[in-house]
Structures are given as C-alpha cells and as structure tokens.
Chain A
Amino acid sequence: PWHRRAGSEAGAAAAPRYEVVVIGGGHAGAEAAAAAARGGARTLLLTHKIGTIGEMSCNPSFGGIGKGHLMREVDALDGLCGRVCDRSGVHYKVLNRCKGPAVWGLRAQIDRGLYKEHMQKEILNTPLLTVHEASVEDLLLTEPEPDHPGKCQVTGVVLGDGSTVHAGSVILTTGTFLRGMILIGLETYPAGRLGDQPAIGLAQTLEKLGFAVGRLKTGTPPRLAKDTIDFSGLQERAADNPPVPFSFLSEAVWIKPEDQLLCYLTRTTLKAQEIICDNLHLNNHVRETTRGPRYCPSLESKVLRFPNREHQVWLEPEGLESNVIYPQGVSMTLPAELQEQVIRSIPGLEKAKILQPGYGVQYDFLDPRQLTASLESRLVQRLFFAGQINGTTGYEEAAAQGVIAGINACLRVHGKPPFIVSRTEGYIGVLIDDLTTLGTSEPYRMFTSRVEFRMSLRPDNADARLTHRGFEEAGCVSQQRYEEAVKMRAALEDGIATLKSLQFSISKWSQLVPEVPISSSRRLPLSAFDVLRYPEANMELLARVVPEPLGKLAQWRQLAERLKIEAAYEWCVENQQQEIEEVRRDEALRLPEDLDYFAIDASLSLEVREKLDSNRPQTIGALSRIPGITPAAIVNLLRFVKTNHQKAEKLKALPQADKYFPEKMYSEKAALQRQISAKSSEEKQEYL
C-alpha cells in the first residue's frame, strides 16, 4: 500500500528536502515548477500521474482573445506553454485580425497527444526539477516568521504513503481536484477530472487552517467520433497561412501551413432546446446554485437564458491522428442518452457517435483575496496558490499564475523581494490584481476589456515589457532569450529613431507614396514614422521608396511589423503614459498586510472597515479599485502607508530577517511542527 513510484529517491530514513515543492502537474503546476527551477531553486513536482502532465482536460486549443496575450507574457518570462504550442498545434489562427494589433488573439487548435509529449519532455528535462508521483494529503507547518503576516508557515508536505518532504516553499496547484465532484444527469461521483481522484485530505487541511473556500462549477462537452460526422454541409474555417507562432523564440511553427486541419461550424436547432427543457428535472448540475462561468455557459444555460435561437457549435479536431472531435459550445450535463439525442439534432451530427459524454464539475476554490500579489497566502507563510484553485478558468490563466507563483516561491526561498507584475505592465498583472483585490464569484477569465492600458499591453511587445525584468529580477529567463530581447529592443529604438529623423514635406511624401492619404494641416515636414502610422502604409512600402536607410529595417520581418505597430499606437501609448504613472504611484504605496482594519484609529465607517478587512488591498492603487471605498477612506489609509514607510526606513538598518535558514528552522521548531501537523493528518490516506 505505501508503494513509492517513479523518481523516488531516498528511503524513509532522511526525508528529502527541496527548496520549492509544487503540488499538481496541470498547466499551473508545470509552469510553476519549471519557473522555480529556472530561477535556480531545487524543485520537486508532485503529481498523481506523470502521464497526465500536460493534459488538456477540456478544449483542445490554446490562446484566444486576451488569453493569447497571457501566453505571450508567459513566454516572455520563459514559460513553457507558448513554445510547446508552437510544436504541437494543428490549426493556428489569429483572432481579431481586423480589429487592430492590440487586440489580436493568438490561438491554435492543439494536438492533445503532442502537447502532452512535448510538455513532459520539457518538464522531465528541466535542470533542478524532480518529478514524483504521489498524492499529497497534508502540509507540514511550523511557527510563523516574525515580520511577516500569517499564523504559521509551511515547511513541507505529507504524502499519501505517510512520508514527508521538506520544502522551503510550497505551491498548491490542484485545479478542480479539491473536493472535485463530477455530475452527469442525476449521477454524481467524486473526481477531479473524469477518471482521476479528487484531493480531499488537502481540502480539509486548508479548511482547518481557516482558508475561506468557495464553490464553482464548470463543464465540458461530449466528445464525438470524427468518422461519424457528416462535414459536407458545414461551414469550414481554414487556418492562417502562414501561421503566427506563440513564442518570441520561434521563427515558425512546426507544422507546414498546408498540413493544418480545418475546423467546422454548425448550429443547434430548436429540437435541442426542446430536449433540454423537457428534461431539466434530470439535470442536477444546471439546477444547482453554484456559480458557473457566464462566458462559457453550458448549452443548457444558453437555452434557458436566450431561448428560441440557434447556438453556434464549432467542431474542433483533437489532433492530427485523432478520431476525436471536440464540439465547442455544447458543454452539457444531461444524462448520457439524452446527450446523444441533443447531439443528433444538430446538422452534420445526425449520426454522430459520442465517445465520452459531457459532464459538469463542481469544485472548491480558494478565495484569492487571501493571497498577496506574489500569490503567497497571508494565512500560511511560504504557501503559494496558482491556477484554477484560485477561481480562474482556462489553461492560459493557470499557466500565467503558475509562472508567477513559481518565480516567487523561488525568490522567497532565496530571500529576495517578490516579483510583482503591475496592472500597467501586463495582463498577468491585471489577472492577479483582480483576483487578489476583488476576488471572484464565477470562474475568472481574461478579457482584453479588463485591461485599462490595452493599447500599451500588446501581444507584440510582451518581451519588451517582461523579459528584461524576468531576467534581472526573477532570474527565470534564459541568457539566450534575454539577449534576443535586448537585441530587439535596441533594434526597435534605432528603427524608430531612424524613421523619425527621415523627414520630407507633405507634398514630397504624397509624391513618394501616393497610396497613403496623408492629410495634415501642418506645414512642417512629416517624418517616416508619422507616415507609417497610416493604415495604408507599412515598412515594405516605405523601404521601396526610401531604400536607404529603410531597406534593412524592412528586411527583418518581425522588426518591420513591430515598427508599424509602434507607429500606429504611439499617440495612444503616450496619452496613457501619464495615467500609467499615476497608477504606478498609487501601487507603490503599500498597505501593511497585517493591518487590523477594525482596530485602527481613523474615521472609517464600519462598512468600509468590513470591505477593507475582507479585500485586504495591498496598495493604495488596489484600494482605490474596490467598489464603494470613499476618497476619505483612501486618504485615511494613506496615513498608515506613511507611518509604515517610516518604520520600514528605520528597519533597513537591521539585517534582513527574510533569509531561508533550513537547518536552524527545522531543528528548533521540529517539535511544534510535528504537533501541528499531527492534528490535521489524522484523516489522511483515504486514497492511493
């Protein structure tokens, strides 16, 4: 029964010790473990099954509007998912092509098998990263470090076989596995994903520690056999040619453009609505009150909220060799035989065979307002959370949090300041700030509309925003990537300077590039950069008429494209700059994390105090985004920032208390640690 699986090293005598332990091998866990290891931490990834690392449990696609932005940022921090997708996609398509480069959505249909294969290869070949198969039932805890909020700190984990692993930081990325419950029709059974066990012991531990936990639901559609679908009458969607890679390091994707697979569009009919409405009594998932996502609703909720309409169904391939089709848009939880009726009422699917029925999942998530912007919990020091456990949905959202948690778990162990991405720097910053400041009541998904500085935070410039910081502050970026980013930055700066210095009169320009409708009342000469701003202009055109010095700029394709985008957005980015500065100033004003909002001596209403206590904003910036907080409250709290700042200045003279001293900690606090963990580990070992 206490069988230890692949990769296990020493026996029970000396408990192994790692700087960072990551629990869960999903999209958040894989990125977290890899990021921590890249940063230089000896890292252990614990997962139920090594074979499920890189599993895409729901849709066979990556990216999309907003999500593609996140992937670019993950890639800029040297994360994995972008480059793995460049090696495993079967249909690459940039969404929103005609709406402007700031909102382009890089997206691809991915071959599930290839993705898993490449992801596992990455993970298993990452230096400093060890992977073990084990379930985690409990946490090892000890007394908190002074000068940090939190009632205890984590020092390791207890595995399903009762053995322990010591850790400097622990990252929890258990997705929907915390008290996961699968629902099909009236049947329910515990599972994190169809065929995988839920994590119950860990859920109880978190509850005992006092973490506020909520419940969310999501769902997945039935999977169909490709050879039973009649595609002949359906609308086709072809992939991009050439495909646009996700990673800044990829020159091109692996697949030949012409070898890419097609997607197909069909629509539900009123027959589906009829079946659903007649059988609501057989559908537990839909009747329950748990909050599901509004933007990725089940077919049942679409039919109920928007009746008498056709609903789109995209038929997406699951892989090059796969016979599985993923019908996006019809996630449902009806009993299996009724699902078949619904599917067969859809044009093209009249004879479709269901390979696996759709199902709903309900799961615990942790209120992310209990986390700091580095994703460390306030309650338990050195315990980080990332991914769906924080109330998000989507592979990309999970991966983004994973990278940040991994980086910070590593920095924490090494006694370095946390790596925070601001709302003004990236979608990752918006995602984490929204979660940790406002919490969420439904699975949180990234949208471009959530981002205040959308014009500045574009997919094309994620490297310029994050790669330098990732290299210099987090140490999670390879030398090669850093050098590429430095080179690109220099080339952009030079290119813009060259374009700006190249000036002609308007009439000269009109003569040179008659296709560009230059309209300017200015008498001054116009620079090539100004001309490039026009939708009709591009570097190729300019290089043709002014080959010297523009020729060589136009030859470097990526550079030429980025120069064009920089020109188009220059005014807007400049306009936003001042606002960005204001947000940054407010974000620089930090509120103490352990502030007792009920005790502080300031004129705040009880209502405001309660809001502050539950949201625990970390900065004045975050504070000002909480709905219902008055300017008066902001001013009052600024006072505390100020005193705190002064205190911190005085403390600077003292030595850093933030260092990781494992030996000392373990020897002095071992007794207490055992006491704390004994209590909560009584109910462990139900599984494995």
Chain B
Amino acid sequence: GDTIFAVSSGHGRCGVAVIRTSGPGSRGALQSLTGRPALPPPRVLALRRIRDPATGEPLDRGLVVWFQGPQSFTGEDCAELHVHGGPAVVSGVLRALGALPGLRPAEPGEFTRRAFRRGKLDLTAAEGLGDLIRAETEAQRRQALRQMEGELGRLYQHWSDALTQALAHLEAYIDFSEDDNVEEEVLSQGEGWQGKGAGAGTPHPCSSQRDSWSLPAVDATVRALEREIGSHLQDGRRGELLRGGVRAVIAGPPNVGKSSLLNLLCQRPAAIVSPVAGTTRDVVEVALNVGGYPLVLSDTAGLRDATDPVEQEGVSRARDRLQEADLVLAVLDATAVPTEPVGLGAALGSLQPPPTTPCIMVLNKADLLKGKGGSLRAACTQGPPLPPVTLLSCKTGEGLDHLLALLARELARLCGDPLSGSPSLTQSRHSLHLRQCAVALARYGRERRSDLGLAAERLRLARRHLGSITGHVSTEDVLDIIFRDFCVGK
C-alpha cells in the first residue's frame, strides 16, 4: 500500500503543528527528512533538524516520533513531525513529503479508515469518532474553501465542471459515436471552453452549449484548463517562492556585463568575466538574500546565434532558464541601446523574455555614457509598457542601490507578505492535486491520437484529482451530461 501524510493538528498559524504519516514509507520519510539513517527508539520524542531531502535545505528544528506498526494509531508504521506552526514551515514539510516516492496526501478520514482496517479502534472509540471524523472532512473542505474567500473554491468548481463536461463528451464519443450522431467535431472543432473569462459573469460553461449544437471541443477545453491550472499554480506559489527562493535569471546579449552583474550582486567573483563575447557558457547560480527575500540568481550565456557547438548549448540552456524564471534581469549595453522608450522596448523584446514573467531592465556600462546619459535617464522613468529600468555601472557600482531597491520591490510582490495571506495548509494539499491534475491533462494530448481509451483515462485521473478538492463526481453525472447534450440512438 501507499503512505499517506497530513497535518493532524488544527489549521492556521499555531505554536506547534503535528504532521503525521502512515504506511510502509513512513520509515523512509522520517530518515529522509531528518537526514539520519537511524530512527529514534519507537514512541520516544527526539529533537531533529528537518530538511527538504531534495535540496538539503533546513526547514525547521522540531520533535519527531517514530511509531513502529502495529503499535500506532493506524496500526501501520507511522511517523509524526512536531514542527513550528508557521504556515511556511508546515507547507514546506508537506511539500517535501509529497515529493517523496510513494507518499501522497491523505484523503479526508483516511487515517481513521486505516485504523479501522487494522482493527485498531475499539467499539467505543469508533462511536466517539463518528462525529469527529465528520468534522475533520467537512471542515477540511469547507474551511479550506472559505479560507480562500470562496473565490478559489468557485474557480475549482468551475474547472471541475468544465472537466466533467469535457469528459462526458469524450465518453459519449467512445460509447456512442459510431452508430450515432456524436461526431468527431466534439473532439477537435467547435468553440471549446474559453477559460477564466467565463467564470466572472458569463454563463456557466455547462449551461450554454445545450441548444445551439456548437459542441464544446474537448481538446480545446483540456488545453485551456491545462493552461489555467498551470498559471494558477504559478500564481499560487508565493509560499514556495519564499521557501525555495525566487529564481531570477540574468539574460542579455553577449558581452553586456551579465557576469559582472552577478559578481557585483554576490560581492565575489563567482563568474568568470572577460572582454571576450561568449565567455559564459554554462549557467552559474548563486543564492542571495535581498531585503530579506531569498533570491537564486543565475547567470547565463549571452543570447546570440552562436556557431560554436559548446556555446550553442549554453545559449539553449540560457533560453530554457529564461522560460522557467520567476524574474528576469534583462541586461543591455547602455551605450548601445536607443534612447527613446519605443526603441528600448524593442531592444528588450529582442531577448524574448517569457511574456508573463516580471522583468527588470538593467542598462549596464552607464560609466561609458557620455552625452547620451540625459535622454536615456528620461526614458528610464517612462514606466509601462516598459518594465522598471535602471542604469548601472558594474565597474563603478553606480546605480546599484537603485537596482537593489527595484529587486526588493519585485521580490516583495512575488513572495507576498509572509505574515498575511500566507498559504494555508489545505492549499498545499490542493496544489499537489492540482499539479497532478495538470500533469494528467498534459498527457491527455499525447495519448489522444493513439488510444482514446487511454486519453480518457487521463481525463478521469485529472477529474479525480480535482474531485479530491471539490468533492467527487459520479458516473451518473457524466451520463446526465451525455444524454443532455447528445441525441444518441443505440
């Protein structure tokens, strides 16, 4: 069987939070998180540093307990981690657990269910637990949704509805199409589901298609959902950014001083600098603290059409990094850029940063500016559509304070205030399910052409993950949609 984990103490910020695991992977989980192969003796508290096994980063120092099955609540091997109750700590530990193979978040009431299966609960305990369990599940779902001010709950429900409808249409296509009137257009043409716009005021996606016979295209809906869930997961990564650091990428043409900027910011020669264009080939990474926010800064190869195969690889890595970045530091040569805003925008555009990623423009070599300085300075204060722009001289350090201020402002915006609107515990369960949902949706596209049954399986899986957050949907719901939307014969 698999191993489950969940926060067993209450929700919200508190002094101590208890995170519990149950299942055969509990031993390994405790070993990984404490970084020690030796477990404390069973049922004895031990103080340990708790680290994320993936990054080695310390998450907290807390008490851990090891319960060897069957002498545990569930009768299986169990572990408990008593950590500080800060939301960032808790969600960090949950995420670390979720990343371990064979571990998954517990379903509501699952610990108790396992306890029952193992015969660990006696009759009186069972009776007493009836109400308690209900409180756990209902509260878990409702409270989580309420914490998200209802807005997020509605969004998830909206996705779930759209996915259920997409699945229903796909199922109809599988179960009926050949003899009936369900045509291939269901899958590929038509309007499809239009995503978030439909949520605000426009009619519900499930209600609008009925009479018009413009069948929503399953493929388009899946793609739209995938995109939306993907960007939602990005939006919602504040807690993760705070813990794991904002990934900022220094990008720009060759020889504009990107490596010099890295060295300046980390105050040591971490990257090799030389006047030769194309010096940096691999990605150089340093971790920094800017205004209290964690920043993982990457220096990348200058973006140009390189001929040297090693440099080509470096450029391709730089482009990959750019796509994954949380923040882009676009470095340009101040002496080589146009001095009016439109030209500056075009110069930035030539670097092709991902359109939704925040960006700071750094115009380096300001010390070499002569007469041009004034007009360029004026252009820098232009504001949107230009991102924040700063003039900098890596050589003299001029403009560094301004850059650091800009950085701190962007970081604060990205990470949010850790003391307010912090990610709740339930959300971290949600984000795991959402991520798995997004993965399943992405795979749908791959299976779709070779085996529709397998493709449908991906959608079923995606729906199950969404259903774990919003409440389950039954086969009957799918059939209801099929019969409502299609005139099917035998």
**A: which residues have CB within 8 A of B?**
59, 64-66, 95-96, 98-103, 105, 294-297, 302, 305-306, 309, 311-312, 314, 328-329, 438, 447-450, 454-455, 535, 568-569, 572, 578, 581, 585, 602-603, 625, 627, 630-632, 634-636, 638-639, 642-643
Tell whether B176 is near chain A: CB-to-CB under 8 Å. Answer: yes
Q: In the complex, which of the residues A66, A329, A455 contacts B454, with contact meaning CB atoms closer than 8 Å?
A: A455
Residues of chain B in range 111-125 having any CB-CB distance to chain A below 8 Å: 112-113, 116-117, 119, 123
Tell whether B356 is near chain A: CB-to-CB under 8 Å. Answer: no
Question: Beyond A603-B130, A635-B113, A635-B130, is A642–B119 a contact (Cβ under 8 Å)?
Answer: yes
Tell whether B9 is near chain A: CB-to-CB under 8 Å. Answer: no
A100 touches B452 (CB 8 A): yes
Give A447 to B490 CA distance when docked, in angstroms.
11
Question: Beyond A630-B134, A632-B131, A636-B126, is A328–B489 a contact (Cβ under 8 Å)?
Answer: yes
Q: How many A-B residue pairs have CB under 8 A?
A: 141
Chain B residues, CB < 8 A from A630: 134, 137
Chain A residues, CB < 8 A from B478: 449
B181 touches A66 (CB 8 A): no
B479 touches A454 (CB 8 A): no
Tell whether B178 is near chain A: CB-to-CB under 8 Å. Answer: yes
B126 touches A635 (CB 8 A): yes
Tell whether B487 is near chain A: CB-to-CB under 8 Å. Answer: yes
Q: In the complex, which of the residues A100, A329, A449, A636 contacts B451, with contact meaning CB atoms closer than 8 Å?
A: A100
24 CB < 8 A contacts A-B: A64-B490, A95-B178, A96-B452, A99-B453, A102-B453, A295-B176, A297-B488, A311-B489, A448-B171, A448-B175, A449-B175, A449-B482, A454-B457, A585-B117, A627-B476, A631-B133, A632-B130, A632-B133, A632-B137, A635-B112, A638-B116, A639-B123, A642-B116, A642-B123
B126 touches A638 (CB 8 A): yes
Distance from B128 Cβ to chain A, minimum over Cβ atoms (Å): 10
Tell whether B109 is near chain A: CB-to-CB under 8 Å. Answer: yes
Residues of chain B in range 449-490 having any CB-CB distance to chain A below 8 Å: 450-454, 456-457, 474-476, 478-479, 482-483, 487-490
B174 touches A572 (CB 8 A): no
Tell whether B401 is near chain A: CB-to-CB under 8 Å. Answer: no
Chain A residues, CB < 8 A from B488: 294-295, 297
Distance from B215 Cβ to chain A, minimum over Cβ atoms (Å): 13
Of the candidates B127, B130, B171, the one having the most CB atoms from chain A within 10 angstroms of its own CB is: B130
A329 touches B127 (CB 8 A): no
A635 touches B109 (CB 8 A): yes
Chain A residues, CB < 8 A from B452: 96, 98-100, 103
Chain B residues, CB < 8 A from A311: 181, 487, 489
Distance from A182 Cβ to chain B, minimum over Cβ atoms (Å): 21
B2 touches A578 (CB 8 A): yes
Chain A residues, CB < 8 A from B108: 631
Tell whether B180 is near chain A: CB-to-CB under 8 Å. Answer: yes
Of the candidates A66, A438, A454, the one having the most CB atoms from chain B within 10 angstroms of its own CB is: A454
Chain A residues, CB < 8 A from B457: 454-455, 572
B479 touches A312 (CB 8 A): no
**Dominant secondary structure of chain B at its interface with chain A:** helix
Residues of chain B in range 197-213 having any CB-CB distance to chain A below 8 Å: none
Give A64 to B402 CA distance when docked, in angstroms.
72
Chain A residue at minimum C-beta to C-beta distance from B490: A296
Chain A residue at minimum C-beta to C-beta distance from B135: A632
B127 touches A602 (CB 8 A): yes
Give A96 to B174 CA distance when docked, in angstroms.
7
Chain A residues, CB < 8 A from B119: 642
Chain B residues, CB < 8 A from A65: 174-176, 178
The 4 closest A-B pairs by CB, nearest first: A100-B451, A632-B134, A100-B453, A99-B452
B127 touches A627 (CB 8 A): no
A329 touches B175 (CB 8 A): no
Chain B residues, CB < 8 A from A296: 489-490
B453 touches A454 (CB 8 A): yes
Chain B residues, CB < 8 A from A64: 179, 490
Chain A residues, CB < 8 A from B37: none
Give A448 to B482 CA distance when docked, in angstroms.
13
Distance from A331 Cβ to chain B, minimum over Cβ atoms (Å): 9
Chain A residues, CB < 8 A from B454: 100, 102, 455, 568-569, 572
Give A214 to B263 CA distance when docked, in angstroms.
81
A603 touches B174 (CB 8 A): no
Q: In the complex, which of the residues A103, A568, A635, A642 contacts B129, with contact meaning CB atoms closer than 8 Å?
A: A635
Give A631 to B452 CA distance when docked, in angstroms.
34
Give A634 to B134 CA distance when docked, in angstroms.
10
Chain B residues, CB < 8 A from A634: 109, 113
Give A59 to B171 CA distance when docked, in angstroms.
24
Of the candidates B108, B175, B456, the one having the most CB atoms from chain A within 10 angstroms of its own CB is: B175
